[in-house]
Chain A
Amino acid sequence: CVGINLRYRFHVSLLCKLVSCFGDRAGQFFSSGHTNNWAVLVCTSRFWFNYRHVANTLSVYRSVKRLGIPDSHIVLMLADDMACNHRNPKPATVFSHKNMELNVYGDDVEVDYRGYEVTVENFLRILTGRLPPSTPRSKRLLSDDRSNILIYLTGHGGNGFLKFQDSEEISNVELADAFEQMWQKRRYNELLFIIDTCQGASMYERFYSPNLMALASSQVGEDSLSHQPDLAIGVHLMDRYTFYLLEFLEDIHPASKTNMNDLFKVCPKSQCVSTPGHRTDLFLRDPGSVLITDFFGSVRKVELTMETINLTDPIDAESGELQKEMHTYADQLPVSEIIHQKPKQKDWHPPDGFILGLWTLILLVFFQTYGVKHLKHIF
C-alpha cells in the first residue's frame, strides 16, 4: 500500500508538474499579445540604376510571405517597375543574387502601390488610415490594436530624411508623428521598423511612441553600400544590409525560436562596412524574448495536446492589478456613416437681417428722442 501510495503520489506530482508545465506553455502561448501580422514594404526610388532598392524590398516580401503573412496583409509599394524595364535583359525577373540564383519577383507578386502612387502622402495615409472611402481593401492597412506590424523602407536617404521618387522627402519627425497617430488610434500592438538607406539611424531618432523597435543599416554620417554588381544585368543587385538580412531570414522557418538579439547581429561592420544600429528603449518587452516570427511571420500557434487541462483558476477580477482600459478604435471603413447620412439638426436663429434692422431702429429712436448732438460722442 505504501508502494501504491508512492506511485499515486508520484502520478499526482507528475500530473501537477505537467499541469504547471502546460500552464507555463499556456502562458507563453499568450505572451506576445498579438493576434495578427501586417507588413508594409516600401521601395522609394525609381530609375534603372536603383534596381537594388526594388530587389531589397522584394526580398523582404518574399521572406515575409514564405513565413506566412498573406498578400491581403501585406502592403507592397514599389516606385518603379524593374522587371519590365526596357533595359532588363531578363524580363519579368528581379534577381537578388549574382549569377541569377534567386528571382525574387516570382509569379505571385502583388504590388499594391506602383510607380507614381508611391508618395509620401500615400505612405502616411496608409499608416494613419486616413484614406478616401473609395480606396480598395488591398491598399489599406487594416490593422487593429492586436496587430504586429513590420515596416521596411529602402531607398536613398540622408540625415533625417528619406527621398521618395526623386522629388520629395519624408522627415523623421513626420514619421514619428505618424507612428504616434497610429498608437493613439490603437492601430498596432507592436511595430518593427527596418530601414536600409544611407544614414538610416537618423530616421528612428525621433520616435516617441511606445512599443516601437527600430533597425537601421547605417549610422548618421555613414553610407549604406551596395553589395555586388551583376555584369550580365549591368547594375548592382542588392544592398549589403538587406543581402545579409535575407541570408539570415532564409534560415528562419515558421517554428523558429530565433529572437531579436540575433537580428541585431545581422551584418556586422566587417561585412556591411557601415555600422547597423537598433533602438529598443521604447519597446516594452525584452528583445531577447521577442521572436523573429512575431513580426516576419504570421504564426498560428497550434499546440496538440492529448491531455485535458483544467483551467480551474479564473483570472481574478478582484485582484485589481489589471485595470482594463476600454479601448475603442477608429472605424477603418466608415461605411455606416456614409450610407446613413442624415442632415444635422441645427438650432433655429432669427434671420440676421432682422436683428440688424432691429438694432438700427432702436438707435434711430434713441437719437431722435434725445437729440442728434449725442451722435458725435458716439461716432
Chain B
Amino acid sequence: MGLLSDPNRRRALISLLTRLNTPICIVCYMAGVAWFMGLAFEPFTLRTYMSENAMGSTMVEERFPAGERALATGREFSAHKKRTGGMPVEWLMKTMQAKGLEVFTQRFSRTLPFPDENKERYMVRGTNVYGILRAPRAPRTEALVLSAPCSPGDNNNQAVGLLLGLAEYFRNQIYWAKDIIFLVNEHDLIGMQAWLEGYHHTNTTGTFCHSRGGSIQAALSLELSSDIITSLDLVLEGLNGQLPNLDLANLFYAFCQKIGVLCTIQGKLQRNDWDSVSGYSHAVQTMMLMVMKQASGRPWGDHGLFLRYHIEAATIKGVNSFRQYKTDATTIGRLLEGMYRKLNNLLERLHQSYFFYLMPSLSHFVSIGYYMPAFGLLAVILLLRALDLWVQLSTPPQRTEDGVTDIEPVRGVLSLLTPLVISHLTGVALYMLPIRFQEMAVEHFPVSETEAVVLTAIAVYTAGLALPHNTHRLLSGEGTEQGWRVLKLVAVLYLAVLLGCTALINFSLGFILALTLVPVAAFVTPHVPKVLSAFILVILSPACTLLFSVFFFQELQEMPISFQDGWLLFLSVISQGILDHSLYGSLVYPLITLLVYPCWLLFWNILFWN
C-alpha cells in the first residue's frame, strides 16, 4: 500500500506530526531566519550581468561636452524659481523651445484627504512642463523619459540644468530611434502621478496630456542638488514594493564602472571583504535597507510611479559627501548619455532579466528563486499547525465529556462566524473612520487634522483589543474546546494564504509580517498564561512591528533617534501611509487594516476564548 493510504503508516505519520509539531516549527522558524540572513553572504549571491542582448555592453562613445553650461542653466532656473515662488513655467517653456523640443504643459490639482504635515500641503495645484525630442527618422511609437523634479528651495536646480543641457545635446544627434521626453514635474510625486495619468489617459478627472510620444520603454529620474558630486546613488524601490527590471541596474553599474564614477545603492559603498564580519554585516545592512524600503510600499523616488505601467524606471541621486575624488557635471552627463544610447538600442521592453530580486550590493543580487524558501519555511509552520489542529479536531472526543459534545457542530459554525465578522468589521472601521471623522475629532479635541487622523487610527486599533470580552457576552455560553480549535484552524489557514499572496507581490512586506505573525499564530491557545501572552501578542501586532521597524530603519541608516522623535516619526509614517493610499493607490494601508489586523484580532480572540 502507499505511504498515505496505509492506515498503520498513516497513524504513525500522524503521531509523529503531533508529537514533534512544536520542535519542527521552531526548527523551521530558525531555518527561515537563518536562510534570510544568509542571503547577504557573498558566495550565495550571483554577480550581476547584462541579460538583454540588444543593449550589449557599454560600447558607445560618450561625447557630452557642456557640463558647465548645464550648471549655468541650473542657476538661471533657480533664480527664476525664486522669482515666481514656484515653477517658472514660461521660462522653462521658452528655454525648451529654444533647444528645439516640442513643449507642452499640463495643469493638475489634487486635494489631499487631510493636510500633509511633512511637506506642508493640502490643496495642491501645479503645472508639469515636458518637452518632446522627436526622433529624426523613426515613427513616434516608442519613447524614453528623463525627468527632474522641481523642488522648493535650493534642491534639484542642477538636475533641471543638466536635463536642459542634455536636451540640447541630444537634439543635435541623429541616431535616436525613440522619442525622448524631458519632464520637469512640480510637487514631485503628485505631479508625476498626474502626468502619468494624463499621458496614459487613465484618470477620470484632471487634464489629459495634449501630445504623446508613444509607449514609454524606460525612464530615469534625476536628483542633483550640488555642482560637484562624489558619488551617484541608485534608487530602485517603487510603489507597492515593485522593482524595475534588473537590467536597468546592471546598465547603470556597467556605465559607472566604464566612466569611473563611484556608485552606491542604499547610500552604501560596496566592500570587497565579504569574508570578514564587518564586510558581511555591511552587506546585511544594505540588504535590510532594501527590504525595509520595499516593505513600506511607498515610492522612494519619482520613478516609483512608472513601474505600475510596466515602464522600467530608476532614480539617480547625486550625493556630495566628503571624499577625495569628485565628479563634475560633464561626467554625469556622459554617463546619462551612454545609458540613453544603450536604451535607444532596445527593440522591446526590458524583460530578459529578473523583476524580483534583492541586492546586498550593486554588483551582486539574489533572485526570487533563492530568497523565497526563507518565506516558505515560515509558511510551513502555519501549515504544520493547521495539520495538527485538523488531527486534533478529527480525533473523537473523550468519553469524560458530557453530552454537550453532540451539539458541537451546529454551534461551532456560529461561534466561528461571529469573531470573523466582528474582526473584519473592526478592520473596516480602522480603514474608514480616521478620514471620515477627522472634522468631528478636530471639533472636539485640540489637535490638527493630521494628528486627528492618526490618533483616531490608533484609538480604533486599541479599541479592537477590547472586543473579545464583549463579543462573548453576545454568544450564549462560554467558548468550547472544539470552538477555539476550529477558529484557530481557519485563522491559521487564512493567515497562510494572506501572507503567501503578500509575499508574492511584495516579498519584504510578506516576510516581515511573517516574522512577527507566524509565532503568534503558532503558539496562541486559550491555555497559555494570559497576561504574558497578551503582552507578547501586542508586541508582535502589526502596529508595534511598524514602530520597531521605524527605529530599526533609522539604525540601519546610521541616524539613530530618541524615543520621542521615533514616536513622532511613527505617527508621520502612519499618516504618510494613509496619504499614499489615497493619492497613488499604495496597498499597504488597506492590506494592514482590512486583512492583517482582523487576522491578528482573531488570534487575540482565541487567546481570550475562555
Contacts and interface: CB of A to CB of B under 8 A. Distances in A.
Interface of A: 47-49, 84-89, 91, 229-232, 234-236
Nearest to B138: A86
Contact of A86 (B54, B60, B177): B177
Contact of A235 (B56, B138, B173, B174): B56
A232 B345 contact: no
A89 B60 contact: no
Given A234-B59, A234-B341, A49 B137 contact: no
Contacts of B174: 89, 91
Contacts of B54: 47-49
B345 A87 contact: yes
B61 interface: yes
A215 B101 CA distance: 53
Given A47-B54, A235-B56, A87 B344 contact: yes
A51 to B, nearest CB: 11
19 contacts: A47-B347, A49-B53, A49-B54, A49-B345, A84-B137, A85-B177, A86-B135, A86-B177, A87-B175, A89-B173, A91-B174, A229-B59, A231-B60, A231-B61, A232-B61, A234-B56, A234-B60, A234-B345, A235-B59
Contacts of B136: 86
B176 interface: yes
Contacts of B135: 86
A235 B59 CA distance: 7
Contacts of B61: 231-232, 234
Given A49-B53, A231-B59, A231-B60, A88 B347 contact: no
Given A87-B345, A91-B137, 19 more contacts: A47-B54, A48-B54, A49-B56, A86-B137, A86-B177, A87-B177, A89-B173, A89-B174, A89-B175, A229-B57, A230-B59, A231-B61, A234-B61, A234-B175, A234-B342, A234-B345, A235-B56, A235-B59, A236-B59
A232 B175 CA distance: 10
A156 to B, nearest CB: 11
Interface in B130-168: 135-138
A231 B176 CA distance: 16
A115 to B, nearest CB: 15
A88 B177 CA distance: 9
Contacts of A231: 59-61
Nearest to A234: B60
| Residues of A contacting B: mostly | loop
Nearest to B55: A49
Contacts of A87: 175, 177, 344-345
Contacts of B57: 229
A209 B58 CA distance: 46
A48 B347 contact: yes
Contacts of A86: 135-138, 175-177
Contacts of B344: 87
A86 B57 CA distance: 20
Nearest to A47: B347
Interface string B88-116: 00000000000000000000000000000
A91 B174 CA distance: 9
A230 B581 CA distance: 49
Contacts of A235: 56, 59
A179 B44 CA distance: 53
Contacts of A89: 173-175
A170 B341 CA distance: 34
B65 to A, nearest CB: 15
Interface in B305-351: 341-342, 344-345, 347
Nearest to A232: B61
Q: Which of B57, B61, B136, B175 has the most CB of A within 10 A?
A: B175
For the complex of A and B, the 8 pairs showing the least CB-CB separation, nearest first, are A86-B177, A231-B61, A89-B175, A86-B138, A229-B59, A87-B177, A234-B60, A86-B137
Contacts of B345: 48-49, 87, 234
Nearest to B62: A231
Contacts of A236: 59
A47 B53 CA distance: 11
A235 B342 CA distance: 10
Interface string B41-59: 0000000000001101101
A47 B136 CA distance: 19
Contacts of B137: 84, 86, 91
B174 to A, nearest CB: 6
A49 B52 CA distance: 11
Contacts of A88: 175
Interface in B551-606: none
A25 B138 CA distance: 59
Contacts of A47: 54, 347
B52 to A, nearest CB: 10
A86 B341 CA distance: 12
A236 B177 CA distance: 18
Contacts of A85: 177
A229 B258 CA distance: 15
Contacts of A230: 59
Nearest to A229: B59
A91 B347 CA distance: 19
A234 B344 CA distance: 11
Nearest to B342: A234
Q: Which of A86, A232, A236 has the most CB of B within 10 A?
A: A86
A230 B176 CA distance: 17
A229 to B, nearest CB: 5
A270 to B, nearest CB: 24
Nearest to B136: A86
A235 B277 CA distance: 43
Nearest to B137: A86
Q: Which of A47, A232, A234 has the most CB of B within 10 A?
A: A234
Contacts of A91: 137, 174
A86 B61 CA distance: 18
B130 to A, nearest CB: 22
A84 B59 CA distance: 20
A49 B136 CA distance: 20
Contacts of B173: 89
Contacts of B342: 234
Q: Which of B176, B342, B345 has the most CB of A within 10 A?
A: B345
A87 B345 CA distance: 7
A236 B53 CA distance: 13
Interface in B52-85: 53-54, 56-57, 59-61
Contacts of B53: 49
A84 B174 CA distance: 12
B233 to A, nearest CB: 27
A235 B60 CA distance: 8
Interface string B501-538: 00000000000000000000000000000000000000
B571 to A, nearest CB: 52
A85 B173 CA distance: 14
A343 B62 CA distance: 71
Nearest to A46: B347
Nearest to B344: A87
Interface in B168-199: 173-177
A147 to B, nearest CB: 39
A89 B177 CA distance: 10
A235 B61 CA distance: 11
Contacts of B60: 231, 234
A91 B136 CA distance: 11
B346 to A, nearest CB: 10
Contacts of A84: 137
A236 B60 CA distance: 11
A48 B174 CA distance: 15
A374 to B, nearest CB: 65
B179 to A, nearest CB: 11
B152 to A, nearest CB: 40
Q: Which of B59, B137, B173, B177 has the most CB of A within 10 A?
A: B59
A47 B345 CA distance: 10
Contacts of B138: 86
B565 to A, nearest CB: 51
Nearest to A231: B61
